[in-house]
Structure 1
Amino acid sequence: MSSNEHAPSRHHTLIFDVPRTNIGNSYNKYSGLFTAPSNGVYHFSWTIYSGCHSNIPTEILRNDEIYGAALADSEEDCDAHESTTNVIIELNQGDIVFIRTNSKANSQGDIKITEGLRSTFSGFKLN
């Protein structure tokens, strides 16, 4: 992510708009969606930094199914906290994977981006 995300609402797709490696262009930096180029087992990881007094619950989805969740929580203090989560998902060609804010819990505060703190999303095919 290239900039802070101020008070993201529920169901908000997070857009990681600075792809460093995007072989095959399967990740869309405008929509935040990864589209599986082929059938297989994939590993995904995401890191979210919460800003001062923030609470940012996130989840990863395959199409419309939640596969994992994380919470970056610095609600009790004015510090940046991170949450990193990894999942392994079997995908079919054309399946969509993305990170969004939690569908049931409200976020409080900001996703923080600074020179030393970056919220990231990555993935690769295992087989």
Structure 2
Amino acid sequence: MQTSSFAESTSPLGFIKDLDNYMRVCQKLGCAQKKGCSGAVVAFHAALKSHLRNVPVNTILKFEDVLLNKGNGYDPKTGVFTAPANGIYFFEWTFITTNGSTVYMEAVVDGARKASTCINAQTSRHTSTSGHLLYELKTGNKVWIRTFLVNAGFLYSDKYTFFSGHRVKF
């Protein structure tokens, strides 16, 4: 039994007509891109390359293992995301630490703390925590994750500790 995609089974003119009909439906539902909107995807995901120990207070974490960087907003050399376009952005960071460690992390936008997470003197073998930030950015605004309050005891790498973000609204 041979199967083919819809695009392969219709003529080019028929495909364009069908696509046009789908676009009209999207517009009526309010999910079509509006004129003047920049629809370019902005998204990144990066993890620590190596374990970190005794990370000083106010250290910007550099997530050097970049798995995705659409829009080229994230710089692994500095650990800073720079918004390439206006919009509402969603950021997430997750870290895992080991027994006895204390880690305080914060999401910072242009020098101001906007969200915080912590594990304080944790007692299990491994503990993970995550933080989230939904924030409206203008082109050029900068976002990063840094330690605060006390030196961070220990952070695992191997994709356990990461920083990611994407634009959710243009």
TM (norm. structure 1) is 0.90
Instruction: Please point out which of 89, 98, 105 is paired with 1:42.
Output: 89
Cα drift, residue 52 of structure 1 = 2.5
Aligned to 1:7: 54
Aligned to 1:87: 133
Which structure 1 residue ranges, 4+ long, deviate > 4 Å from structure 2?
A: none
Aligned to 1:56: 103
Q: Give aligned-pair identity as a percent.
A: 25
1:1-127 to structure 2, matched below 5 A, reads 1-73=48-120, 75-77=121-123, 79-102=125-148, 105-114=149-158, 118-127=160-169
Give distance in 2, aligned partners of 1:32 and 1:51. Answer: 23
Q: How many matched pairs? A: 122
Give distance in 2, aligned partners of 1:4 and 1:86. Answer: 22
Alpha-carbon RMSD across the aligned residues, in angstroms, is 1.4
Q: Which blocks of at least 5 consecutive residues in structure 1 are unaligned?
A: none
Q: More helix by proportion, 1 or 2?
A: 2
TM (norm. structure 2) is 0.68
Cα drift, residue 72 of structure 1 = 2.7
Q: Does the CA contact (< 8 Å) of 1:48 and 1:72 recur in 2? A: no
Of stretches 77-86 and 87-96 in structure 1, the one that deviates more from structure 2 is 77-86
Whose relative contact order is higher, 1 or 2, with alpha carbons under 8 Å and at least 6 apart? 1
